[in-house]
Structure 1
Amino acid sequence: MPLLIVAFGIILLLILITGFKLNTFVSLIVVSFVVSLALGTPLKDIVTTIEGGLGGTLGHIALIFGLGAMLGRLIADAGGAQRIAMTLINKFGEDKIQWAVVVASFIVGIALFFEVGLVLLIPIVFTMAKELKVSILHLGIPMAAALLATHSFLPPHPGPTVIAGEYGADIGLVLLYGIIVAIPTVILAGPLYTKFAKKIVPDAFKKTGNIASLGEQKTFKLEETPGFGISVLTAMFPVLLMAIATILDMVQKSVGFEDNTLIEIVRLVGNASTAMLLSLFLAFYTMGIARKTPIKDVMASCTSSIAAIGMMLLIIGGGGAFKQVLITGGVGDYVAELFKGSAMSPIILAWLVAAILRVSLGSATVAAISTAGLVIPILAQYDVNLALVTLATGAGSAICSHVNDAGFWMIKEYFGLSMKETFSTWTVLSTIASVSGLGFILLLNSSVIIAGIIIVLIIIGAVYFSMTDRTKDKRNTVGI
């Protein structure tokens, strides 16, 4: 019965969002009330349960999410993201242009949320495709793969950040493992899949696309933008701080030395919230003051970034409310009892639940948060790496983007694709990223050394495959 009620709740949520076009946040709150009643939660506890779930989720993520949005917007508005992309594209050269796009999108994707990164990078991709006379999808698929991987696996993106908090995972460890998983995932879903996509839907690579709906984009002359090094440092600074603290913790556990004041300071600085705050202050200087930008313009960028993510914060909170309803209503305990004594890994279970919810609901973030309500009670039965469970949930929430996902329509419209072509490119790409991500997570769970060797071999093989197939690729490109 509990699982039937959850299924009913998901169907109701789908009907409200897609059928009645109701706002996603409002739909989540309505479904949370309905599911609470159906699960038999005492009437006096329903509102406090929903408020507790919403507040608990936002209480953990709001600081990181808000500061991350400000950081990303400052880098974009100052031209730092454009400098990163154009410099890498110029350095890599025409023959390795896909790899330049992958690296640029990965770096930019760490600082910018998926939709923002997509809107920022697509005009650059279109410009480069036109100059080099290659298909826009030849560059667009690697770009989308990199942005999706950072969105699914790397804090401060909402999915991995929220889930790390819900599971009690070390967010620095999530970031470190996330980078290890994301790199080979991007290679498989990006440059390598592009070669197969050209054979599956060759007509899609003849499309010219349409970015008129983006309006007039803010562009800079390269000499007007911040330097490449300082732009990369600003974008990667929170990653560096969190990685240093995480590595120090790992060394301390293996060596066994005692805490001291220096270690505590490093741990404080490497905390996700502190790292984001320090990175924002660095961006105030590098993207603003150092470029003689008036402080009121810097603050205006920060304000506009928060206005843009206001609804996203509410939707995340609504997902947290629904998650708490499932836990309070005993659904999580019921699922835990079903899997008691089961040989199924909680990593695979978390991926599977998130994948089902993703296909049903469309929103990767809502799917990931809702998964926590079903998986958290199970985790107590296993001695499992919570960082890897977090990544598995993120991988599952990336699978099979289709018509109920905003990203599907963005890719379709910007690249001028038909429905079939969008399914054959973007939907397949997201599925490859999800499944291969799970594979690399399981490898890490079994052996970090083996996983490292396989990932290195994939990178070497991908580069070799790209180099040897270069002539063939040039024959398949089209003028735009």
Structure 2
Amino acid sequence: MPLVIVAIGVILLIVLISKFKLNTFVALLIVSFCVALTLGIPMEKVVSTIETGIGGTLGHIALIFGLGAMLGRLVADAGGAQRIAMTLINKFGETKIEWAVVVSSFIVGIAMFFEVGLVLLIPIVFSIAKEMKVSLLSLGIPMLAALLATHSFLPPHPGPTVIAGEYGADIGKVLLYGIIVAIPTVLIAGPIFTRLAKKIVPSAFEKRGSIDSLGDQKEFNLDDTPSFNISLLTAMFPVILMLIATGVKMVIGNAGTNVVFKVIAFVGDPSVAMLISLVIAVYTMGINRNISIKEITRSCSSAAASIGMMLLIIGGGGAFKQVLINGGVGKYIAVIFAGTSMSPILLAWIVAAILRISLGSATVAAISTAGLVIPMLAQYDANLALVTLATGCGSAIASHVNDAGFWMVKEYFGLTLKETFATWTLLSTITSVVGLMFILALDAIIK
């Protein structure tokens, strides 16, 4: 019965969001209350359960998420992201333009959330495709692959950041392993898949697309933007700090009483790393370029405002997750799989993939998966960082009509539904499946 109740809850969520166009956060709350009562959680404990889920989830990621959004916005508003992209494109040259787009999109994707990176990079891809007389989609697919992989695997993106907190995984290891998995995944889902897609749907590569819906784009004179080195260092600084701390911890172990190690661990903490990076960005992307504090503050405020609804949705997903845990659904699944040889990595991927296909939202799918998988983890000696990556990986699969990203790609690139399925949906599926293969391979190596 618990699984039937969850299935009905998921169906209700789909109906509320897709058919009645109800706000995702409100829909999640309604479903959380209904499922909680149906699972037998006492009425006097339902509200506290939901509050615990929202507070526990947002309490962990709000700081990292908010600071990350501000950092990305400062780099974008200063022209740093455009400087990174154009410099790499010029260095790679016309013959290797696809690889230039992959590298620049990967770097920008680490610093910025998927939608922000997409809106920022699409105009650049449009102008390059037009200038070099190449197919728009031949550059678009590598860009999308890099943005999707960083969104699915790398903190401070919401999925991996939230799940790392829920599983109790070391976020530095999630970042390190995520980069190891993301790089080959992007190469396969990007440049290599592009060649296959040209054979599957050649008509899609003849489309010119349109970015009129993005409105007037802010144009930068590259001479007026921060230098490539400064832009790259600013965007990557939190990643550098977290990787250094993780590397030291993996080699030497816990900091113990050594002050130097304690400082490294403190500075490498995701929240501290993001705060330090934001302060540096205020200088490199703002003050050093004679931009007023008022304008810098405006960029930060705009970034914070833009993630408000996303934070609520994440909180709603946390409420649903907590209901599943307190309602005993996770324990029920743990009993079903007790004694089986199925890897928790594979189970997390399967559950996340099913929820992603059903719900559309990768973030909600990932958070909901935690509620079903957490009780199982006690039975296994699982690498929590890899389980985190598997959950994010599963939540990337098969983007289709119930996902906003599907429609963004369709409209921007001027594709038909069939062409969007054969390119973007297939790309997201390849990213998910190939990513899982590399995660399993990494698990075998680490063991």
1:25 CA displacement: 0.3
Instruction: Classify the secondary structure of the residue corresponding to 1:14.
Output: helix
1:251 CA displacement: 0.6
The answer on whether the counterparts of 2:255 and 2:265 sit within 8 Å (CA) in structure 1 is no
Residue 456 (structure 1) aligns with: none
Residue 38 (structure 1) aligns with: 38
1:219 CA displacement: 1.2
Kindly provide the CA deviation profile for residues 196-218 of structure 1, in whole angstroms up to 9, marking residues without a partner as x: 00000000000000100000011
1:375-414 mapped onto 2 (5 Å cutoff)? 375-414=373-412
Alignment RMSD? 0.9
Kindly provide the CA deviation profile for residues 296-355 of structure 1, in whole angstroms up to 9, marking residues without a partner as x: 000000000011110000000000000000000000000001110010000000000000
Whole-angstrom distance in 2 between the partners of 1:327 and 1:167: 13
Whole-angstrom distance in 1 between the partners of 2:38 and 2:400: 30
Whole-angstrom distance in 1 between the partners of 2:131 and 2:191: 20
Residue 465 (structure 1) aligns with: none
Q: Aligned partner of 1:48: which letter? A: S
Is residue 66 of structure 2 the alignment partner of residue 66 of structure 1?
A: yes
Whole-angstrom distance in 2 between the partners of 1:124 and 1:168: 39
Find the partner of 2:289 among 291, 296, 315: 291
Whole-angstrom distance in 1 between the partners of 2:252 and 2:223: 45
Residue 4 (structure 1) aligns with: 4
Residue 243 (structure 1) aligns with: 243
1:448 CA displacement: 4.8
Whole-angstrom distance in 2 between the partners of 1:257 and 1:10: 44
Residues 76 and 47 of structure 1: CA distance in aligned 2, closer, same or farther (over 3 Å): same
Residue 14 (structure 1) aligns with: 14
Residue 29 (structure 2) aligns with: 29
Is residue 414 of structure 2 the alignment partner of residue 416 of structure 1?
A: yes
The answer on whether the counterparts of 2:255 and 2:262 sit within 8 Å (CA) in structure 1 is no
Residues 318 and 92 of structure 1: CA distance in aligned 2, closer, same or farther (over 3 Å): same
Residue 312 (structure 1) aligns with: 310
Instruction: Classify the secondary structure of the residue corresponding to 1:447.
Output: helix
Q: Aligned partner of 1:382: which letter? A: Y
Q: Aligned partner of 1:77: which letter? A: D
Residue 353 (structure 2) aligns with: 355
Whole-angstrom distance in 2 between the partners of 1:67 and 1:225: 22
Number of aligned residue pairs: give it.
447
1:258 CA displacement: 4.8
1:74-93 mapped onto 2 (5 Å cutoff)? 74-93=74-93
Q: Aligned partner of 2:67: which letter? A: L
TM-score, L = length of structure 1: 0.92
Whole-angstrom distance in 2 between the partners of 1:146 and 1:97: 14
1:99-138 mapped onto 2 (5 Å cutoff)? 99-138=99-138
Whole-angstrom distance in 2 between the partners of 1:354 and 1:235: 30
Whole-angstrom distance in 1 between the partners of 2:89 and 2:429: 27
Is residue 334 of structure 2 the alignment partner of residue 336 of structure 1?
A: yes
Kindly provide the CA deviation profile for residues 98-132 of structure 1, in whole angstroms up to 9, marking residues without a partner as x: 00000000000011100000000000000000000
Q: Aligned partner of 1:152: which letter? A: S
Instruction: Classify the secondary structure of the residue corresponding to 2:374.
Output: helix
The answer for unaligned runs of 5 or more in structure 1 is 450-480
Whole-angstrom distance in 2 between the partners of 1:312 and 1:240: 26
Q: % of aligned pairs identical?
A: 73
Instruction: Classify the secondary structure of the residue corresponding to 1:173.
Output: helix
1:219-238 mapped onto 2 (5 Å cutoff)? 219-238=219-238
1:252 CA displacement: 1.1
Whole-angstrom distance in 2 between the partners of 1:360 and 1:257: 44
> Runs ≥4 in structure 1, deviation > 3 angstroms?
256-259
1:7 CA displacement: 0.1
Whole-angstrom distance in 2 between the partners of 1:238 and 1:396: 26
The answer for unaligned runs of 5 or more in structure 2 is none
Instruction: Classify the secondary structure of the residue corresponding to 1:41.
Output: coil
1:188-227 mapped onto 2 (5 Å cutoff)? 188-227=188-227
Whole-angstrom distance in 1 between the partners of 2:288 and 2:99: 31
Is residue 55 of structure 2 the alignment partner of residue 55 of structure 1?
A: yes
Q: Aligned partner of 2:294: which letter? A: K
Whole-angstrom distance in 2 between the partners of 1:208 and 1:371: 38
1:185 CA displacement: 0.4
Residue 274 (structure 1) aligns with: 272
Whole-angstrom distance in 1 between the partners of 2:27 and 2:14: 9
TM-score, L = length of structure 2: 0.99
1:259 CA displacement: 3.8
